[in-house]
Structure 1
Amino acid sequence: MAEAARILLVDDDEGLLRLLSLRLSAAGYQVKTVTSAEQALATLPHYQPRLVITDLRMGGMDGMTLFETVHKDQPALPIIILTAHGTIPDAVEATRRGVFGFLTKPFDSQALLDYVSQALRLAGPGQEAGGDEAVAGDWREGIISRSAVMEEALRQARLVADSETNVLIQSESGTGKELLARALHRASRRAGRPFVAVNCSAIPEALLESELFGHSKGAFTGATQNRKGLFEAANGGTLFMDEVGDMPLPFQAKLLRVLQEGEVRPVGANSSVPVDVRVISATHRDLEQAVADGDFRADLYYRLNVVRLDLPPLRERRDDIPLLVRFFLDRVNERNGRRVEGFAPEAMEALMAASWPGNVRQLQNVVEQSAALCTTEIVPLSLVQRALRSDPSEIPPLAEARDRFEREYLEELLRITGGNVSSAARLAGRNRTEFYKLLKRHHLEPEMFRAS
């Protein structure tokens, strides 16, 4: 039976502390109470709660300072702040800086329990002290998230990290595919060996074989010495092949042979070199459709896609936007030697409402541009609007835009028809077989849209 979720309560009002502890304990949670923020910081390392609930105004360190101190080391740990002095600006400011929830006393017990339940869902599964999971935070370094959909993707990644199977990461551009690949490597038994990344779409076709497999001296004009390829450079470790869907067909057969035989033959060499490499590949393309269209070899697809991981786009994990904004802003301040405190409430609302076709990469660009042009401590709405208009990543690639439109179109048809495939196919002007193929391509289940 799973252990009850651990919650740390922080309040200098001992009467309220007892009352909250009773309510949460009765709801099935494991609760520890402390009467100051300083005590909380001392308790965190060994108690390892999945949620912190703290009063805002306390003697000594206050609740927001506690949040900021904890947030630096544990950005994914949700924190709920309670206060008798709450105002709307306080709530907006706290949420903007990454606080999960903000409740004003006196508050309804059910509202608190609902907040706690939601926070624990977003916090993901608990981790026990000791063993391999004690360093669980290290493997996902640089991945900033508290949203349920992203935590589920990371949970799946952690399950396959220590296996030797090849992994295909399929998601839109700018979602952080290389970050996830590095996390998989850090969590694997190959962590002490090299991690080598290559963007297949950035290398001209004529150089791709030499770059990946290496070449011998004199193999072609300019080959003045023997050179190891990236497969050999990654020997014993992990090779991350980004945008593998853009790989030319003639080269796909050569890559397949390397994956099957576990050895590479450098260009111009007479013999092969054995390599022990785990391959993690990534693409923003629908490779299943590319196989159907004849643009990608089916045998290579199945060799790469032993386990598939899907990273959600930013528009499906909007809960993470305040966390990411804070993270990027802190990096900009450190790099530029400035101190932009944050974004105005209306500017943060604009960031939360944007469509983000360029995903996290686009958000980073917008934050950096807004902060660079800001002449005050708070970034105004006008600078965010300007950055959103001028960001070239606002325009997605044609194939990506077409895929997104098709998925949204299918979802709308299924919503209108209540998941009735025959009706939806008729509205789309397709027969049922074709329509089912479209649903499968976009991983849509009609049952999700049917009334219970």
Structure 2
Amino acid sequence: MRNVVLGFLGTQLDMGRRRRWKPTVSLVTHDGFPVDRLEILYDMRFRDLADIVRTEVQETNPQTEVMLRNLDLSDPWDFQEVYGKLFDFARGYGFDEDRERYHVHLTTGTHVAQICWFLLTESRHIPARLIQTGPPGREEDKAKFDLIDLDLSRYNALQQRFDQLSREYSDQLKGGIATSNPAYNALIDRIELVASNSNEPILLLGETGTGKTQLAERIYSLKLDRRRLKGRLVHVNCATLRGQDARATLFGQRRSFTGQAGTERSGLLREADGGVLFLDEVDELGLKEQSILLHAIESGRFYPLGSDSEVTSRFQVIAGANRDLRALTAEGLFRSDLLARLNMWSFRLPALRERREDIEPNLRFELDRAEKDLGNRVGFNTDARDRYLRFASDPGTPWPGNFRDFGGSIRRLCVLAPRGRITLAMVEDEIATLQADWRSAEADGDARLVREVLGEAAAEIDRFDLVQLAEVIRCCRNSASLSAAGRSLFAASRAKRASTNDADRLRKYLARFGLDWAAVSDEA
């Protein structure tokens, strides 16, 4: 195939002012790289120099065909002009890759031209490899010649460095915990991409205790490391914001509004300027506060309480919510325009019961954290560790408070451990404590949950059946399918049966109350 080289005329270098080395002429002097056609882009103001260079190239290597292509630039340092004209040049060129191999000479032209050549080549608007030349060294006869192929498959080491950096950022978002749940790891990888490349709001959804606050803090740290912000992280508990005092807390307050000394406040939005505003439990925010907050997020401007002048604060937003914001919007409890603004990037954090394979690494994490806080190392006896992990990983263990319940449980065991060892008896006591707490919390909700599904017919159900049915409904709502719910509900007895059909057992149980999967699952 014929080698074709495209390049700008070097208005300074091709005059030979640097050690009489002329980069364009030197292209045809390198053994092993024959130049069949050299196309020189020049400005009409330098036509005489272009003719001289063409003559020198032909005298140096008569086998090279030289073509002069006029490309006038009013300002060769104007990126928009240079890129636009080179883009038009590339579109009208008519590359024939079956017969010719194309190269772009990067050495000549302004820095702007060199950048534009690179961008157009990398994007394949120009199907070429890059050539970088340089003058010979003091003790060298031949000029330097480097052929650069932008096919990144040849740069595995470089790609591996990028991959390693991405993994480090993902580990940072996971708090250094070696998680193995595929769905969670994919979620973290996606959050890492968004946090590293976008300043748009991030909405973190999930049950209480799934780690929304910790993840928000790690996203902030990642953005700080990536130099996407310079300010601080301001944590706002929206559940505590109500009425006039809430507005003063968010937007600030002028002293003149009250006339009392010490009442002037900057407001949390001002404190978040240049940083991140974390709206924790944003689903608890009142409608009036939602309206004013929306304007502040979109415009970066708001009025402090008692002020006639707007102030400015630019911040990035991370919001966390326990409840379904779309359902709240349908009920008129959450503004649809605020949801649309916050929902640019939305991520649902899975519950602990959906990540049971990550319980063991989280156990190690909690033990390490307890060691730092308590000042002494605590470990499990082997039988105690096995018992706790079986309980924690069992499909029948609900973990309603998720990692908050889990972390609290490990902390209690560490505090009470004699001589730094957690025994089997301690684990049994802790399991009993957890189960009692969960039963107590669920008791009042059983009747409400069954009434929600059965309506007035719930009054005709015995208390014994009501408690059991409520547990079945909860399990169904926390499971992806009828089969998954059946496996969870019948986890103990299924091992003793010769043949199992958990889905059919559950279907027949629901039918006793006139129910089916659609009536009790989240799909209802």
TM more than 0.5? yes
Q: State the alpha-carbon separation in 1 of the partners of residues 378 and 427 from structure 2.
A: 14
Contact 1:216 1:223 in 2 (8 A): no
Deviations 1:94-145 (A, max 9, x none): xxxxxxxxxxxxxxxxxxxxxxxxxxxxxxxxx8225853742564262522
CA-CA distance at 1:192 after TM superposition: 3.5
Query: In the alignment, does 2:404 pair up with 1:366?
Result: no
Query: In the alignment, does 2:170 pair up with 1:133?
Result: no
Q: State the alpha-carbon separation in 1 of the partners of residues 313 and 258 from structure 2.
A: 24
CA spacing shift, 1:413–1:220, aligned 2, 3 Å: farther
Contact 2:476 2:482 in 1 (8 A): no
What does residue 290 of structure 2 align with?
Answer: 252
Q: State the alpha-carbon separation in 2 of the partners of residues 393 and 304 from structure 1.
A: 35
Q: What is the aligned counterpart of 1:319 among 324, 343, 357?
A: 357
Matches within 5 A, 1:185-334: 185-188=220-223, 189-220=227-258, 224-334=262-372
CA-CA distance at 1:171 after TM superposition: 0.2
Amino acid at match of 1:165: E
Contact 2:257 2:305 in 1 (8 A): yes
What does residue 4 of structure 1 align with?
Answer: none
Contact 2:236 2:278 in 1 (8 A): yes
Q: State the alpha-carbon separation in 2 of the partners of residues 211 and 390 from structure 1.
A: 39
Query: In the alignment, does 2:192 pair up with 1:149?
Result: no
The TM-score normalised by the length of structure 1 is: 0.59
RMSD, aligned α-carbons: 3.7
Q: State the alpha-carbon separation in 2 of the partners of residues 164 and 393 from structure 1.
A: 42
Contact 1:190 1:238 in 2 (8 A): no
Q: State the alpha-carbon separation in 2 of the partners of residues 146 and 340 from structure 1.
A: 24
Q: State the alpha-carbon separation in 2 of the partners of residues 404 and 269 from structure 1.
A: 50
Amino acid at match of 2:402: N
Amino acid at match of 2:183: V
Q: Which protein has the larger Cα radius of gyration, Structure 1 or Structure 2?
A: 2
The gaps in structure 1 that reach 5 residues or longer are 1-126, 418-423, 447-452
CA-CA distance at 1:261 after TM superposition: 2.2
Q: State the alpha-carbon separation in 2 of the partners of residues 186 and 327 from structure 1.
A: 19
Query: In the alignment, does 2:390 pair up with 1:356?
Result: no
Tell me the secondary structure at the aligned position of residue 129 of structure 1. Answer: helix
Tell me the secondary structure at the aligned position of residue 312 of structure 1. Answer: coil
Tell me the secondary structure at the aligned position of residue 197 of structure 1. Answer: strand
CA spacing shift, 1:285–1:331, aligned 2, 3 Å: same
Contact 2:380 2:423 in 1 (8 A): no
CA-CA distance at 1:154 after TM superposition: 0.2
Deviations 1:194-229 (A, max 9, x none): 111111113444422111111111324766243211
Amino acid at match of 2:408: N
Deviations 1:269-295 (A, max 9, x none): 111111111111011101111111111
Matches within 5 A, 1:168-179: 168-179=203-214
Tell me the secondary structure at the aligned position of residue 227 of structure 1. Answer: coil
CA spacing shift, 1:156–1:411, aligned 2, 3 Å: same
Of the structure 1 ranges 234-243 and 379-388, higher mean CA displacement relative to structure 2 is found in 379-388
CA-CA distance at 1:237 after TM superposition: 1.3
What does residue 407 of structure 1 align with?
Answer: 477
The TM-score normalised by the length of structure 2 is: 0.52
Amino acid at match of 2:173: R
The gaps in structure 2 that reach 5 residues or longer are 1-158, 453-472, 486-502, 505-510
CA spacing shift, 1:289–1:382, aligned 2, 3 Å: farther
Amino acid at match of 1:173: T
Q: State the alpha-carbon separation in 1 of the partners of residues 245 and 427 from structure 2.
A: 41
Q: Percent identity?
A: 29
Q: State the alpha-carbon separation in 2 of the partners of residues 130 and 330 from structure 1.
A: 30
Amino acid at match of 2:190: Q
Of the structure 1 ranges 181-190 and 387-396, higher mean CA displacement relative to structure 2 is found in 387-396
CA spacing shift, 1:285–1:318, aligned 2, 3 Å: same
CA spacing shift, 1:266–1:314, aligned 2, 3 Å: same
Contact 2:232 2:274 in 1 (8 A): yes
Query: In the alignment, does 2:418 pair up with 1:380?
Result: no
Q: State the alpha-carbon separation in 2 of the partners of residues 135 and 312 from structure 1.
A: 22
CA spacing shift, 1:177–1:409, aligned 2, 3 Å: closer
- Which structure has the higher relative contact order (CA within 8 Å, separation 6+)? 1
Contact 1:172 1:313 in 2 (8 A): yes
Q: State the alpha-carbon separation in 1 of the partners of residues 378 and 265 from structure 2.
A: 47
Stretches of 4+ moved more than 4 A in 1? 396-406, 413-417, 427-430
CA spacing shift, 1:248–1:388, aligned 2, 3 Å: farther
